[in-house]
Amino acid sequence: MKHKTTHKENLSALSRVEGQVRGIQNMVEKEKYCIDIVNQIHAVVNALYRVSEKILTKHIEGCVAETFKRRGRQEKDKKINELMSVIKRLHKIR
């Protein structure tokens, strides 16, 4: 049940981001002040990052935890490598 709630929360957050992006497009079309546009872009990036963190957290709590409970060393190593790759990419974004 909690997974579905988080899923709905993520979809809601992504819908807000979609609206923010449309707002940014509108700002560009209307040639609004560049710093205001950049600030809005930064807000969108942060919002996407927060959604990404929530999804990754749920993945760790679900899929990764399950792998560590029931799978062998090879599968565990694969999950660790997968997580490290994602963490490195997220770190580059920030």
Note the pLDDT tens digit of each residue in 67-93: 889 888 898 999 999 999 998 888 787
pLDDT for 32 equals: 98
Task: Give me the pLDDT at residue 33, please.
Answer: 98
Helix, strand, coil percentages in the chain from 3-state DSSP, rounded to 5: 90, 0, 10
| Residue 31, helix vs strand vs coil | coil
Q: For residue 70, what are the CA distances in angstroms to 22, 75, 78, 81?
A: 45, 10, 14, 18
**pLDDT tens per residue across span 6-57:** 889 999 999 999 999 999 999 999 999 999 999 999 999 999 999 999 999 9
In this prediction the pTM is: 0.80
What residues does each domain of the chain span? Answer: 2-93
| Options 1.20.1250.20, 3.90.1170.50, 1.20.58.1000, 3.10.180.10; CATH of 2-93 | 1.20.58.1000
